[in-house]
Structure 1
Amino acid sequence: MPTTHRSYAGYVALGDSFTEGMCDDLLPDGHYRGWADRVASALAAERADGDFRYANLAVRGKLIGQIHDEQLAPAAAMGADLVTLAGGLNDVLRPGCDIERVEQLLGDCARELRAGGATVVMFTSTDPTRRMAGSGRLLPTILRMKAFVQELGRQDGFAVVDLFSAPCFDDRRLWAEDRLHLSPEGHRRVAEGVLEALGRPAAFDWRAPLPVAAPPGRTERLRADARWLRTHLGPWVGRRLTGRSSGDGRPPKRAELLPYSQES
Protein backbone atom coordinates (compact mmCIF):
# COMPACT_ATOMS: atom_id res chain seq x y z
CA MET A 1 0.00 0.00 0.00
CA PRO A 2 1.29 3.54 -0.60
CA THR A 3 3.28 5.00 2.24
CA THR A 4 2.60 8.35 3.87
CA HIS A 5 5.07 11.18 3.40
CA ARG A 6 7.80 10.79 6.03
CA SER A 7 11.40 11.90 6.23
CA TYR A 8 14.06 9.21 5.85
CA ALA A 9 17.52 9.29 7.38
CA GLY A 10 19.01 6.25 5.63
CA TYR A 11 18.40 4.44 2.35
CA VAL A 12 19.80 1.11 1.12
CA ALA A 13 19.25 -0.19 -2.44
CA LEU A 14 19.47 -3.92 -3.24
CA GLY A 15 19.36 -5.57 -6.64
CA ASP A 16 21.02 -6.06 -10.00
CA SER A 17 21.87 -3.81 -12.97
CA PHE A 18 18.49 -2.09 -12.81
CA THR A 19 19.31 -0.69 -9.38
CA GLU A 20 23.05 -0.28 -9.98
CA GLY A 21 22.02 2.25 -12.62
CA MET A 22 23.35 0.69 -15.81
CA CYS A 23 23.36 3.00 -18.85
CA ASP A 24 22.41 6.18 -17.01
CA ASP A 25 24.80 9.14 -17.06
CA LEU A 26 28.30 8.45 -15.74
CA LEU A 27 29.43 9.99 -12.46
CA PRO A 28 32.93 11.49 -12.04
CA ASP A 29 34.08 8.28 -10.30
CA GLY A 30 33.11 6.19 -13.35
CA HIS A 31 29.96 4.63 -11.87
CA TYR A 32 26.56 5.02 -13.46
CA ARG A 33 24.21 7.40 -11.69
CA GLY A 34 20.93 5.45 -11.83
CA TRP A 35 17.44 5.99 -10.47
CA ALA A 36 18.46 4.98 -6.93
CA ASP A 37 21.07 7.75 -6.79
CA ARG A 38 18.43 10.17 -8.06
CA VAL A 39 16.07 9.08 -5.27
CA ALA A 40 18.86 9.46 -2.70
CA SER A 41 19.59 12.98 -3.95
CA ALA A 42 15.94 14.02 -3.64
CA LEU A 43 15.60 12.55 -0.14
CA ALA A 44 18.87 14.14 0.99
CA ALA A 45 17.58 17.53 -0.14
CA GLU A 46 14.63 17.18 2.25
CA ARG A 47 16.82 16.86 5.34
CA ALA A 48 17.25 20.26 6.95
CA ASP A 49 19.90 18.80 9.26
CA GLY A 50 21.87 17.39 6.32
CA ASP A 51 21.94 13.98 8.01
CA PHE A 52 21.17 11.49 5.25
CA ARG A 53 22.99 8.26 4.47
CA TYR A 54 22.86 6.05 1.38
CA ALA A 55 24.22 2.66 0.32
CA ASN A 56 23.76 0.87 -2.99
CA LEU A 57 24.63 -2.84 -2.86
CA ALA A 58 23.26 -3.69 -6.32
CA VAL A 59 25.58 -5.36 -8.83
CA ARG A 60 24.81 -6.05 -12.47
CA GLY A 61 23.97 -9.62 -13.46
CA LYS A 62 23.00 -10.83 -10.00
CA LEU A 63 20.38 -13.55 -9.64
CA ILE A 64 17.90 -13.49 -6.77
CA GLY A 65 19.85 -16.17 -4.92
CA GLN A 66 22.96 -13.99 -5.03
CA ILE A 67 21.01 -10.94 -3.89
CA HIS A 68 19.67 -13.01 -1.00
CA ASP A 69 23.05 -14.49 -0.05
CA GLU A 70 25.31 -11.47 -0.67
CA GLN A 71 23.22 -8.34 -0.10
CA LEU A 72 20.45 -9.15 2.37
CA ALA A 73 22.49 -9.56 5.57
CA PRO A 74 24.65 -6.45 5.01
CA ALA A 75 21.55 -4.40 4.17
CA ALA A 76 19.63 -5.60 7.21
CA ALA A 77 22.61 -4.86 9.46
CA MET A 78 22.73 -1.24 8.28
CA GLY A 79 19.36 -0.53 9.90
CA ALA A 80 18.25 2.03 7.31
CA ASP A 81 14.65 3.17 7.48
CA LEU A 82 14.16 2.89 3.70
CA VAL A 83 15.05 0.00 1.38
CA THR A 84 14.40 -0.62 -2.30
CA LEU A 85 14.42 -4.24 -3.44
CA ALA A 86 14.41 -5.30 -7.08
CA GLY A 87 15.45 -8.77 -8.23
CA GLY A 88 14.43 -11.93 -10.02
CA LEU A 89 14.27 -10.67 -13.60
CA ASN A 90 17.71 -12.09 -14.45
CA ASP A 91 16.36 -15.45 -13.30
CA VAL A 92 13.24 -15.06 -15.43
CA LEU A 93 15.35 -14.34 -18.52
CA ARG A 94 17.14 -17.66 -18.20
CA PRO A 95 15.63 -20.91 -19.54
CA GLY A 96 14.31 -23.25 -16.89
CA CYS A 97 13.65 -20.54 -14.32
CA ASP A 98 12.38 -21.98 -11.03
CA ILE A 99 9.76 -19.31 -10.37
CA GLU A 100 8.69 -20.80 -7.04
CA ARG A 101 12.25 -20.48 -5.73
CA VAL A 102 12.52 -16.95 -7.10
CA GLU A 103 9.35 -15.95 -5.27
CA GLN A 104 10.46 -17.65 -2.05
CA LEU A 105 13.83 -15.87 -2.01
CA LEU A 106 12.41 -12.49 -3.04
CA GLY A 107 9.72 -12.81 -0.38
CA ASP A 108 12.27 -13.82 2.26
CA CYS A 109 14.35 -10.74 1.43
CA ALA A 110 11.34 -8.44 1.57
CA ARG A 111 10.02 -9.80 4.87
CA GLU A 112 13.41 -9.76 6.61
CA LEU A 113 14.05 -6.16 5.55
CA ARG A 114 10.58 -5.15 6.70
CA ALA A 115 11.07 -6.96 10.02
CA GLY A 116 13.89 -4.53 10.75
CA GLY A 117 11.44 -1.64 10.55
CA ALA A 118 12.34 -0.31 7.11
CA THR A 119 9.85 0.88 4.53
CA VAL A 120 10.36 -1.53 1.61
CA VAL A 121 9.78 -0.39 -1.98
CA MET A 122 9.48 -3.06 -4.69
CA PHE A 123 8.80 -3.05 -8.43
CA THR A 124 6.85 -4.85 -11.09
CA SER A 125 8.75 -5.50 -14.30
CA THR A 126 7.99 -3.60 -17.46
CA ASP A 127 6.16 -5.54 -20.20
CA PRO A 128 8.83 -6.56 -22.75
CA THR A 129 6.29 -7.90 -25.24
CA ARG A 130 5.24 -4.37 -26.17
CA ARG A 131 8.72 -3.47 -27.44
CA MET A 132 10.79 -6.63 -28.00
CA ALA A 133 9.95 -9.30 -30.54
CA GLY A 134 10.22 -12.86 -29.26
CA SER A 135 9.71 -11.99 -25.61
CA GLY A 136 6.20 -13.45 -25.39
CA ARG A 137 7.53 -16.63 -23.73
CA LEU A 138 8.48 -14.53 -20.70
CA LEU A 139 5.07 -12.98 -20.16
CA PRO A 140 3.39 -15.71 -18.05
CA THR A 141 6.28 -15.68 -15.57
CA ILE A 142 6.45 -11.88 -15.52
CA LEU A 143 2.71 -11.72 -14.81
CA ARG A 144 3.09 -14.21 -11.99
CA MET A 145 5.93 -12.15 -10.51
CA LYS A 146 3.81 -9.02 -10.88
CA ALA A 147 0.97 -10.57 -8.89
CA PHE A 148 3.41 -11.80 -6.22
CA VAL A 149 5.00 -8.36 -5.74
CA GLN A 150 1.63 -6.60 -5.70
CA GLU A 151 0.38 -8.97 -3.01
CA LEU A 152 3.39 -8.14 -0.85
CA GLY A 153 2.74 -4.47 -1.53
CA ARG A 154 -0.66 -4.65 0.15
CA GLN A 155 1.00 -5.24 3.51
CA ASP A 156 1.83 -2.44 5.91
CA GLY A 157 5.23 -0.84 5.32
CA PHE A 158 5.52 -1.91 1.68
CA ALA A 159 5.09 0.14 -1.50
CA VAL A 160 5.16 -0.99 -5.13
CA VAL A 161 6.18 0.97 -8.22
CA ASP A 162 4.11 -0.52 -11.05
CA LEU A 163 6.30 -0.23 -14.14
CA PHE A 164 4.30 -2.90 -15.99
CA SER A 165 1.28 -0.63 -16.37
CA ALA A 166 3.20 2.52 -17.37
CA PRO A 167 2.83 3.07 -21.14
CA CYS A 168 5.97 5.20 -21.36
CA PHE A 169 8.17 2.10 -21.02
CA ASP A 170 6.89 0.80 -24.36
CA ASP A 171 8.99 3.54 -25.98
CA ARG A 172 12.52 2.51 -27.01
CA ARG A 173 13.76 6.00 -26.13
CA LEU A 174 13.47 5.02 -22.47
CA TRP A 175 15.91 2.17 -23.09
CA ALA A 176 19.62 2.05 -23.81
CA GLU A 177 21.08 0.66 -27.02
CA ASP A 178 21.33 -2.81 -25.44
CA ARG A 179 17.49 -2.83 -25.05
CA LEU A 180 17.78 -4.35 -21.57
CA HIS A 181 18.77 -1.35 -19.45
CA LEU A 182 17.13 2.01 -18.98
CA SER A 183 18.29 5.18 -20.69
CA PRO A 184 18.84 8.33 -18.58
CA GLU A 185 15.22 9.32 -19.23
CA GLY A 186 14.09 5.87 -18.10
CA HIS A 187 16.05 6.21 -14.86
CA ARG A 188 14.58 9.68 -14.30
CA ARG A 189 11.07 8.28 -14.57
CA VAL A 190 11.68 5.32 -12.28
CA ALA A 191 13.11 7.69 -9.66
CA GLU A 192 9.97 9.81 -9.86
CA GLY A 193 7.85 6.66 -9.49
CA VAL A 194 9.71 5.73 -6.30
CA LEU A 195 9.30 9.23 -4.86
CA GLU A 196 5.59 9.14 -5.67
CA ALA A 197 5.29 5.74 -3.93
CA LEU A 198 6.90 7.37 -0.88
CA GLY A 199 4.18 10.01 -0.77
CA ARG A 200 6.02 12.85 -2.46
CA PRO A 201 3.95 15.17 -4.68
CA ALA A 202 4.53 14.45 -8.35
CA ALA A 203 7.03 16.72 -10.09
CA PHE A 204 5.80 15.39 -13.45
CA ASP A 205 3.70 12.52 -14.82
CA TRP A 206 6.34 9.79 -14.99
CA ARG A 207 3.91 7.36 -16.66
CA ALA A 208 3.04 9.66 -19.58
CA PRO A 209 4.23 8.73 -23.08
CA LEU A 210 7.00 10.75 -24.65
CA PRO A 211 6.13 13.23 -27.42
CA VAL A 212 5.51 11.50 -30.72
CA ALA A 213 8.61 11.17 -32.88
CA ALA A 214 9.02 10.03 -36.47
CA PRO A 215 9.72 6.28 -36.57
CA PRO A 216 13.14 5.21 -37.85
CA GLY A 217 13.37 4.14 -41.47
CA ARG A 218 13.85 0.54 -42.53
CA THR A 219 17.57 0.92 -43.20
CA GLU A 220 18.15 2.56 -39.84
CA ARG A 221 16.21 -0.21 -38.07
CA LEU A 222 18.19 -2.95 -39.81
CA ARG A 223 21.50 -1.30 -38.92
CA ALA A 224 20.42 -0.89 -35.32
CA ASP A 225 19.32 -4.54 -35.13
CA ALA A 226 22.63 -5.75 -36.58
CA ARG A 227 24.61 -3.60 -34.15
CA TRP A 228 22.53 -4.90 -31.23
CA LEU A 229 23.06 -8.53 -32.25
CA ARG A 230 26.81 -8.03 -32.60
CA THR A 231 27.49 -5.77 -29.63
CA HIS A 232 24.94 -6.85 -27.02
CA LEU A 233 23.03 -10.07 -27.72
CA GLY A 234 26.06 -12.12 -28.81
CA PRO A 235 28.13 -11.38 -25.68
CA TRP A 236 25.06 -11.89 -23.45
CA VAL A 237 24.42 -15.35 -24.94
CA GLY A 238 28.12 -16.18 -24.61
CA ARG A 239 28.06 -15.39 -20.90
CA ARG A 240 24.95 -17.54 -20.40
CA LEU A 241 26.56 -20.50 -22.18
CA THR A 242 29.73 -20.30 -20.10
CA GLY A 243 28.02 -19.55 -16.78
CA ARG A 244 29.62 -16.12 -16.48
CA SER A 245 28.00 -12.84 -15.43
CA SER A 246 28.83 -9.23 -16.23
CA GLY A 247 28.99 -8.62 -12.48
CA ASP A 248 31.50 -11.35 -11.62
CA GLY A 249 34.10 -9.89 -9.27
CA ARG A 250 32.52 -6.44 -9.28
CA PRO A 251 31.96 -4.78 -5.88
CA PRO A 252 28.92 -2.60 -5.10
CA LYS A 253 29.38 1.07 -5.94
CA ARG A 254 28.35 2.18 -2.40
CA ALA A 255 28.97 -0.76 -0.08
CA GLU A 256 28.56 1.24 3.15
CA LEU A 257 25.78 3.41 4.52
CA LEU A 258 27.66 6.71 4.30
CA PRO A 259 26.63 10.37 4.37
CA TYR A 260 25.16 11.54 1.09
CA SER A 261 24.09 14.97 -0.07
CA GLN A 262 22.17 16.03 -3.17
CA GLU A 263 25.49 17.19 -4.63
CA SER A 264 27.14 13.76 -4.17
Structure 2
Amino acid sequence: MPGGEYLRYVALGDSQTEGLGDGDDATGLRGWADRLAEQLAVTSPALQYANLAVRGQTSAQIHAGQLEPALALRPDLATVVSGVNDMLRRRFDADEVAGHLEAMFAALTAQGARVATVTFPDVARITPLARPISARVTALNDRIRAAAARHGVAVAETSVHDVVTDPRLWSSDRLHASPLGHARIAAAIAHALQLPGSDDSWTHPLPPVRTPTGLGAAAVEVRWAATFLGPWLGRRLRGRSSGDGRTAKRPELLPLSVPGSPGGPAATR
Protein backbone atom coordinates (compact mmCIF):
# COMPACT_ATOMS: atom_id res chain seq x y z
CA MET A 1 0.00 0.00 0.00
CA PRO A 2 2.66 2.58 -1.03
CA GLY A 3 1.58 6.01 0.13
CA GLY A 4 -1.78 4.62 1.19
CA GLU A 5 -3.85 5.11 4.32
CA TYR A 6 -3.05 2.92 7.30
CA LEU A 7 -5.49 2.42 10.15
CA ARG A 8 -3.67 -0.03 12.48
CA TYR A 9 0.06 0.41 13.06
CA VAL A 10 2.00 -1.95 15.33
CA ALA A 11 5.70 -1.49 16.17
CA LEU A 12 7.88 -4.46 17.22
CA GLY A 13 11.42 -4.06 18.52
CA ASP A 14 13.78 -3.16 21.33
CA SER A 15 14.87 0.04 23.09
CA GLN A 16 15.21 2.11 19.91
CA THR A 17 11.58 1.40 18.97
CA GLU A 18 10.50 1.89 22.58
CA GLY A 19 12.01 5.38 22.31
CA LEU A 20 15.03 5.48 24.60
CA GLY A 21 16.99 8.67 24.05
CA ASP A 22 13.86 10.66 23.20
CA GLY A 23 12.33 11.67 26.53
CA ASP A 24 12.74 9.63 29.70
CA ASP A 25 10.93 7.12 31.88
CA ALA A 26 9.70 9.85 34.23
CA THR A 27 8.11 12.14 31.66
CA GLY A 28 7.47 9.54 28.95
CA LEU A 29 9.33 8.23 25.92
CA ARG A 30 8.51 9.36 22.42
CA GLY A 31 10.87 7.79 19.89
CA TRP A 32 10.81 7.24 16.15
CA ALA A 33 7.82 4.86 16.17
CA ASP A 34 5.68 7.40 18.02
CA ARG A 35 6.88 10.07 15.61
CA LEU A 36 6.02 7.88 12.62
CA ALA A 37 2.57 7.21 14.09
CA GLU A 38 2.05 10.95 14.49
CA GLN A 39 2.90 11.47 10.81
CA LEU A 40 0.51 8.71 9.79
CA ALA A 41 -2.26 10.26 11.89
CA VAL A 42 -2.04 13.52 9.95
CA THR A 43 -3.49 11.83 6.87
CA SER A 44 -5.24 8.97 8.71
CA PRO A 45 -7.03 10.54 11.72
CA ALA A 46 -8.64 7.20 12.54
CA LEU A 47 -5.22 5.59 13.02
CA GLN A 48 -4.75 3.28 15.99
CA TYR A 49 -1.23 2.56 17.20
CA ALA A 50 0.41 -0.06 19.43
CA ASN A 51 4.07 -0.25 20.44
CA LEU A 52 5.13 -3.69 21.71
CA ALA A 53 8.86 -2.92 21.95
CA VAL A 54 10.80 -3.74 25.12
CA ARG A 55 14.33 -2.51 25.74
CA GLY A 56 17.15 -5.04 25.93
CA GLN A 57 15.37 -7.76 23.98
CA THR A 58 17.13 -9.86 21.37
CA SER A 59 15.59 -10.89 18.06
CA ALA A 60 14.72 -14.29 19.51
CA GLN A 61 12.90 -12.66 22.44
CA ILE A 62 11.04 -10.26 20.15
CA HIS A 63 10.04 -13.14 17.88
CA ALA A 64 8.86 -15.23 20.83
CA GLY A 65 7.14 -12.49 22.81
CA GLN A 66 5.95 -9.81 20.40
CA LEU A 67 4.98 -11.49 17.13
CA GLU A 68 1.90 -13.33 18.39
CA PRO A 69 0.43 -10.26 20.14
CA ALA A 70 1.18 -8.22 17.01
CA LEU A 71 -0.64 -10.69 14.76
CA ALA A 72 -3.61 -10.68 17.15
CA LEU A 73 -3.90 -6.90 16.60
CA ARG A 74 -4.15 -7.50 12.80
CA PRO A 75 -2.09 -4.47 11.73
CA ASP A 76 -2.17 -3.13 8.21
CA LEU A 77 1.25 -1.59 8.91
CA ALA A 78 4.01 -3.05 11.09
CA THR A 79 7.63 -2.13 11.71
CA VAL A 80 10.18 -4.71 12.82
CA VAL A 81 13.52 -3.27 13.96
CA SER A 82 15.83 -5.60 15.84
CA GLY A 83 19.37 -6.94 15.92
CA VAL A 84 21.55 -4.47 17.81
CA ASN A 85 21.24 -6.31 21.13
CA ASP A 86 22.24 -9.53 19.35
CA MET A 87 25.32 -7.90 17.79
CA LEU A 88 26.50 -6.62 21.18
CA ARG A 89 26.53 -10.08 22.75
CA ARG A 90 29.59 -12.33 22.87
CA ARG A 91 27.90 -15.02 20.80
CA PHE A 92 26.42 -13.75 17.54
CA ASP A 93 25.08 -15.72 14.58
CA ALA A 94 23.92 -13.46 11.75
CA ASP A 95 21.95 -16.27 10.10
CA GLU A 96 20.12 -17.06 13.33
CA VAL A 97 19.21 -13.41 13.97
CA ALA A 98 18.11 -12.92 10.37
CA GLY A 99 16.03 -16.08 10.65
CA HIS A 100 14.02 -14.57 13.49
CA LEU A 101 13.56 -11.35 11.55
CA GLU A 102 12.48 -13.19 8.41
CA ALA A 103 10.00 -15.30 10.36
CA MET A 104 8.39 -12.07 11.60
CA PHE A 105 8.43 -10.55 8.11
CA ALA A 106 6.78 -13.67 6.70
CA ALA A 107 4.06 -13.94 9.32
CA LEU A 108 3.09 -10.29 9.21
CA THR A 109 3.08 -9.96 5.41
CA ALA A 110 1.17 -13.25 5.07
CA GLN A 111 -1.58 -11.72 7.18
CA GLY A 112 -1.72 -8.74 4.83
CA ALA A 113 0.35 -6.16 6.71
CA ARG A 114 2.72 -3.74 5.01
CA VAL A 115 6.04 -4.18 6.83
CA ALA A 116 9.05 -1.89 7.12
CA THR A 117 12.48 -2.32 8.68
CA VAL A 118 15.90 -0.64 8.71
CA THR A 119 19.56 -1.45 8.14
CA PHE A 120 22.03 -0.42 10.83
CA PRO A 121 24.95 2.03 10.74
CA ASP A 122 28.50 0.94 11.42
CA VAL A 123 28.80 1.55 15.17
CA ALA A 124 32.58 1.88 14.86
CA ARG A 125 31.95 5.25 13.21
CA ILE A 126 30.10 6.30 16.37
CA THR A 127 32.60 4.94 18.89
CA PRO A 128 36.02 3.50 17.94
CA LEU A 129 35.81 0.94 20.76
CA ALA A 130 33.03 -0.80 18.81
CA ARG A 131 35.27 -1.55 15.81
CA PRO A 132 35.16 -5.35 16.38
CA ILE A 133 31.39 -5.24 15.73
CA SER A 134 31.66 -3.67 12.26
CA ALA A 135 31.76 -7.03 10.46
CA ARG A 136 28.65 -8.14 12.35
CA VAL A 137 26.77 -5.04 11.21
CA THR A 138 27.67 -5.68 7.58
CA ALA A 139 26.69 -9.36 7.80
CA LEU A 140 23.33 -8.64 9.40
CA ASN A 141 22.50 -5.79 7.02
CA ASP A 142 23.13 -8.05 4.01
CA ARG A 143 20.75 -10.65 5.43
CA ILE A 144 18.09 -8.07 6.33
CA ARG A 145 18.08 -6.81 2.73
CA ALA A 146 17.77 -10.33 1.34
CA ALA A 147 14.98 -11.35 3.72
CA ALA A 148 13.11 -8.10 3.11
CA ALA A 149 13.30 -8.61 -0.65
CA ARG A 150 11.81 -12.09 -0.34
CA HIS A 151 8.75 -10.77 1.51
CA GLY A 152 8.21 -7.35 -0.03
CA VAL A 153 9.34 -5.52 3.12
CA ALA A 154 10.26 -1.84 2.79
CA VAL A 155 13.83 -1.12 3.94
CA ALA A 156 15.01 2.25 5.21
CA GLU A 157 18.70 2.17 4.27
CA THR A 158 20.01 4.10 7.25
CA SER A 159 23.35 2.30 6.95
CA VAL A 160 24.56 3.98 3.76
CA HIS A 161 24.32 7.68 4.61
CA ASP A 162 27.09 9.52 6.45
CA VAL A 163 24.69 11.62 8.50
CA VAL A 164 23.48 8.62 10.50
CA THR A 165 26.77 8.52 12.41
CA ASP A 166 26.79 12.24 13.20
CA PRO A 167 27.15 12.39 17.02
CA ARG A 168 24.26 14.86 17.19
CA LEU A 169 21.89 12.08 16.10
CA TRP A 170 22.92 9.93 19.07
CA SER A 171 22.32 10.23 22.79
CA SER A 172 25.23 10.41 25.21
CA ASP A 173 25.30 6.62 25.63
CA ARG A 174 25.98 6.19 21.87
CA LEU A 175 23.58 3.25 21.78
CA HIS A 176 20.31 5.11 21.37
CA ALA A 177 19.25 7.87 19.04
CA SER A 178 18.82 11.43 20.29
CA PRO A 179 15.50 13.21 19.68
CA LEU A 180 16.93 14.46 16.38
CA GLY A 181 18.08 10.95 15.55
CA HIS A 182 14.66 9.50 16.29
CA ALA A 183 13.13 12.14 14.02
CA ARG A 184 15.49 11.11 11.23
CA ILE A 185 14.68 7.40 11.67
CA ALA A 186 10.95 8.16 11.48
CA ALA A 187 11.55 10.21 8.33
CA ALA A 188 13.64 7.41 6.81
CA ILE A 189 10.92 4.82 7.33
CA ALA A 190 8.23 7.22 6.08
CA HIS A 191 10.32 7.70 2.94
CA ALA A 192 10.77 3.93 2.49
CA LEU A 193 7.00 3.54 2.78
CA GLN A 194 6.44 6.41 0.32
CA LEU A 195 4.15 8.22 2.74
CA PRO A 196 2.63 11.51 1.57
CA GLY A 197 4.99 14.39 2.28
CA SER A 198 8.05 12.18 2.78
CA ASP A 199 11.33 12.71 0.91
CA ASP A 200 15.06 12.09 1.22
CA SER A 201 15.78 15.14 3.36
CA TRP A 202 16.57 12.80 6.25
CA THR A 203 19.78 11.86 4.40
CA HIS A 204 21.06 15.45 4.31
CA PRO A 205 24.08 16.31 6.48
CA LEU A 206 23.84 18.63 9.47
CA PRO A 207 25.77 21.93 9.54
CA PRO A 208 29.48 21.44 10.34
CA VAL A 209 30.53 21.52 13.98
CA ARG A 210 33.91 21.37 15.70
CA THR A 211 34.72 18.04 17.34
CA PRO A 212 37.33 17.27 20.01
CA THR A 213 40.74 16.06 18.83
CA GLY A 214 43.84 14.70 20.50
CA LEU A 215 43.71 14.65 24.30
CA GLY A 216 40.21 16.14 24.25
CA ALA A 217 38.90 13.27 22.16
CA ALA A 218 40.64 10.72 24.38
CA ALA A 219 39.07 12.26 27.49
CA VAL A 220 35.62 12.00 25.88
CA GLU A 221 36.19 8.29 25.21
CA VAL A 222 37.32 7.65 28.79
CA ARG A 223 34.26 9.42 30.24
CA TRP A 224 31.95 7.47 27.93
CA ALA A 225 33.53 4.14 28.89
CA ALA A 226 33.23 4.91 32.61
CA THR A 227 29.68 6.23 32.42
CA PHE A 228 28.06 3.83 29.94
CA LEU A 229 30.30 0.98 28.80
CA GLY A 230 31.29 -0.15 32.31
CA PRO A 231 27.72 -0.46 33.65
CA TRP A 232 26.60 -2.17 30.42
CA LEU A 233 29.37 -4.75 30.69
CA GLY A 234 28.49 -5.25 34.35
CA ARG A 235 24.90 -6.15 33.47
CA ARG A 236 26.09 -8.59 30.82
CA LEU A 237 28.48 -10.32 33.25
CA ARG A 238 25.62 -10.71 35.73
CA GLY A 239 23.33 -12.06 33.02
CA ARG A 240 20.95 -9.12 33.35
CA SER A 241 19.19 -6.94 30.79
CA SER A 242 17.83 -3.40 30.91
CA GLY A 243 14.48 -4.90 29.92
CA ASP A 244 14.20 -7.31 32.84
CA GLY A 245 10.75 -6.98 34.39
CA ARG A 246 9.54 -4.48 31.78
CA THR A 247 6.52 -4.73 29.52
CA ALA A 248 5.46 -2.89 26.37
CA LYS A 249 4.59 0.77 26.87
CA ARG A 250 1.58 0.62 24.53
CA PRO A 251 0.42 -3.01 24.18
CA GLU A 252 -3.02 -2.27 22.71
CA LEU A 253 -4.16 -0.40 19.63
CA LEU A 254 -5.26 3.06 20.73
CA PRO A 255 -6.19 6.25 18.89
CA LEU A 256 -3.45 8.82 18.44
CA SER A 257 -3.61 12.57 18.86
CA VAL A 258 -1.73 14.59 16.27
CA PRO A 259 0.77 17.13 17.72
CA GLY A 260 -0.93 20.50 18.01
CA SER A 261 -4.34 18.97 18.68
CA PRO A 262 -5.82 18.63 22.20
CA GLY A 263 -3.64 16.16 24.07
CA GLY A 264 -0.89 16.40 21.45
CA PRO A 265 1.82 13.77 21.30
CA ALA A 266 1.34 12.89 24.95
CA ALA A 267 -1.39 10.54 23.72
CA THR A 268 1.38 8.27 22.43
CA ARG A 269 2.88 7.63 25.86
TM-score (norm 2): 0.90
Give the aligned length: 259
* Distance apart, 1:258 and its partner CA: 1.2
Superposition RMSD in Å: 1.8
In structure 1, the partner of 2:247 is 251
1:14 aligns with 2:16: no
Taking a change above 3 Å as real, the CA distance of residues 60 and 223 of structure 1, as seen in their structure-2 partners, is same
CA distance in 2, matches of 1:138, 1:26: 28
Instruction: Report whether the alignment pairs 1:227 with 2:223.
Output: yes
Distance 1:30 1:250 in 2: 17
Matched, 1:33 2:30: yes
Structure 1: segments with no counterpart, 5+ residues? none
The more displaced of 59-68 and 220-229 is: 220-229
| CA apart distance, 1:39 | 0.4
User: Partner amino acid for 1:250?
Assistant: R
**1:118 touches 1:157 (CA, 8 Å); kept in 2?**
no
1:170 counterpart residue number? 165
Cα deviation, 1:64-119, whole Å, max 9, x if unaligned, reads 11101110100011001000001122111111212222121111111111111100
SS in 2 for 1:135: helix
Deviations, residues 121-163 of structure 1 (Å, cap 9, x unaligned): 0110111122321323222221121111112332464100111
| Distance (whole Å) between structure 2 residues aligned to residue 156 and residue 145 of structure 1 | 17
> What is the distance in 1 between the residues matched to 2:60 and 2:200?
36
Give the whole-Å Cα distance in 1 for the aligned partners of 2:201 and 2:46. Answer: 29
Provide the rounded CA distance (Å) in 2 between the counterparts of 1:199 and 1:257.
Answer: 23
Q: Does 1:115 align with 2:110?
A: yes
Q: Distance in 1 between matches of 2:219 and 2:136?
A: 31
CA distance in structure 1 between the aligned counterparts of 2:118 and 2:228, rounded to whole angstroms: 25
Give the corresponding residue for 1:134.
129
Q: Give the SS at the match of 1:212.
A: coil
Check whether the contact 1:85–1:120 (CA below 8 A) recurs between aligned residues: yes
What amino acid is the match of 1:221? A
Alignment of 1:4-83 (within 5 A): 4-26=2-24, 30-47=27-44, 50-83=45-78
Match of 2:261 in 1: none
Within 5 A, what are the aligned runs for 1:193-232? 193-200=188-195, 201-202=197-198, 205-216=201-212, 218=214, 220-232=216-228
Code of the aligned partner of 2:88: L
Partners of 2:93 and 2:124 in 1: CA distance = 21
Separation in structure 2 between the aligned mates of residue 101 and residue 195 of structure 1, nearest angstrom: 28
Gaps of 5+ in 2: 259-263
Map of 1:152 onto structure 2: 147
Who is 1:242 aligned against? Answer: 238
Percent of residue pairs identical: 41
